[in-house]
Structure 1
Amino acid sequence: MGTRTVLLSGARWLALLVPLLDLALVVSGVLSLRAGIVLALVLEAVLAVVLVVEAAASRVAYRRARRSGATRRAAVVSGLAAVWPPVVLRLARAEAGVLRALWWAARRRRAVGPADVALPYAGRFGVVLGAVGALGVLETAVVHVLLPWETARWVLLAVSVYALLWVLGTGASLFQHPHLLRGDELVLRSGHLHAIAVPLTGLVGVRRSVGSEHARTVLRDGDRLVVSVMGDTNVEVRLDPPVPVPGQAAPVARVAFWVDDPRAAVRLLRDRAVSTAG
């Protein structure tokens, strides 16, 4: 990593963290209001320089992505990834995904194309989401009524409503983004957070195979790729020869995942293996 990249990365974090530190020092009384305002003005000038440099870098990355054939949306993401800290970019993607999920829920929309075959995996979340939603509404109402301090009451109300919407949006995205059989690919998803396209050109076998206690939703176990739900999987496919999968350093020979109806998934994938062999 070059010196320029390190300096620019450090400037990004300073532009985000130093204003918050300035505000905290003023609120705690370490700095006077006047000194805080002066410091804030200096920081605004520094931030303006950082923004100009980052805007130029983002524009270069955007144009490069467009020239390579990326869609406008993908190019925008490439431009942001070139200038935003990775953690901030992941948080922004998560927030955008939640907002989109809430909008899609109001419109009853799913990310399933006309020729796609959906393989739902979120059935076990239905009862949990219902219970969390009901308890969240009840807790928010009780806290708002019983808390005696008005300012704290409204702050907690805003935080509670935001948290409830975030949970419901994240849960809704699990139903809106099922696994897909799409052409010669098996697209394995985890809500709006993960979408992994596994080529089925080398599909030679599929079976029901129950696994549990996977530490992460997406993980690599030797030559096997695991996409679990609550740590569980119930279907495994075999690929021979192993196939390259985007985001994986080495080809994948086996893929384990969870679906609500494993029998139907196994049947569909076996039919796909037969048609591919033929």
Structure 2
Amino acid sequence: MIARTARRIHGVAVAITVLVAAVNATLAAIGILSPGAAFVLWLGVEIPLGIVVGVMTVQRIRSLRREGFGWTATLDEIAGKITADLIRFEARGYRAIWQFVRRRYDGGEPGVVPVGYTKGTMGIPMAFLVACVIEAVVVHVLVPWPAVRNVLLVLSIWGLIQILGILAGRITHPHLLTDTRLTIRAGHQVIVQLDRGDVERVLERRRWEYTSQIVDDDALYLPGPDGTCLDLVLREAVDVTLPAFFEHKRTTASVSRLSLQVDDPEAVVAHFSAVGLRPKGFSAEA
């Protein structure tokens, strides 16, 4: 009961703070409030509200941590599952961009072979990226109101960064293959971790029937635009986590075959026969 009341009070305080800030910014942007009046409102109302909300947030975090909540569960409790998922998505995007700039991939260490799966899958994201750049230029040229133009420009740049984060996330989060283990991923999400002994056969086989992620019968398909090109036949069924944007919406299924799109299926088959592969230009990062 006490925890529920604290959650509600904290939520109301956050909502009031955000509402006041939004109203202040809007009134200043359309000229109803002068810059001086907006600054006074920010100084006299928004900053004290922000301090109160900050103190309440710290107290709730400390309370949840004392109760044994992990950091992921704490963020879910503080922000709500949907908001927490969005926060994690954005943070992972920034990290992926940083890794890409440094030419690193996630989860690497000596002896780990990254298996890329982005070939042929970047067309649509790149189209969105180009459209976002064009939108930013058009907004800057056509919108006559400086305040509105600046807001739209900021939103366009933010959207551009999100798309870059998605693109970088797929490049910097390949499947991971070692002498003893295979980790299958879809961007930041781990689909399944397999011991090498779980894999009975690795077949280079083109399948065209699916172009979206799906479980059909006892097989998981993680295709590209042209379907899949590699089959992993398992000795027995394993549980896999199906890809989904919101973490709390992800479900599991039991499958005995995985059909994947990878950049170099021949190299994966060869590695299962003790031949290694590693993409040029990228180094491992733990």
One of 195, 198, 201 as aligned partner of 2:194: 198
After superposition, the C-alpha distances for 1:127-163 in whole angstroms (9 at most, x for unaligned) are 5555544443333123202221111111111111111
Mapped contact 2:115–2:268 kept (Cα < 8 A): yes
Partners in 1 of 2:231 and 2:146 — Cα distance? 55
> Which structure 2 residue ranges, 5 or more long, are not aligned?
33-37, 39-43, 242-249, 275-286
Greater helix share, structure number: 1
Identity of aligned residues (%): 27
Residue 238 of structure 1 corresponds to 233
Partners in 2 of 1:97 and 1:44 — Cα distance? 27
RMSD: 3.9
Matches within 5 A, 1:104-183: 104-111=99-106, 112-183=108-179
Residue 227 of structure 1 corresponds to 222
Partners in 1 of 2:11 and 2:221 — Cα distance? 34
Q: Secondary structure at the match of 1:161?
A: helix
Q: Secondary structure at the match of 1:61?
A: coil
Matches within 5 A, 1:94-109: 94-109=89-104
Q: Secondary structure at the match of 1:168?
A: helix
Tell me: CA distance 1:24–1:177, structure 2 relative to 1, closer, same or farther (3 Å). closer
Taking CA–CA contacts closer than 8 Å with sequence separation of 6 or more, which of the two structures ends up with the larger relative contact order?
A: 2
Mapped contact 2:192–2:239 kept (Cα < 8 A): no
After superposition, the C-alpha distances for 1:16-48 in whole angstroms (9 at most, x for unaligned) are 44544566678699xxx9xxx989978976885
* Aligned-partner residue type, residue 262 of structure 1: P
One of 259, 263, 270 as aligned partner of 1:260: 263
Q: Secondary structure at the match of 1:148?
A: coil
Partners in 2 of 1:150 and 1:115 — Cα distance? 54
Mapped contact 1:186–1:200 kept (Cα < 8 A): yes
Give the TM-score normalised by structure 2.
0.68
Superposition deviation, residue 239 in structure 1: 1.3
176-185 vs 7-16, greater mean Cα deviation: 7-16
Partners in 2 of 1:245 and 1:237 — Cα distance? 13
> Which structure 1 residue ranges, 5 or more long, are not aligned?
63-74, 273-278
Tell me: CA distance 1:45–1:139, structure 2 relative to 1, closer, same or farther (3 Å). closer
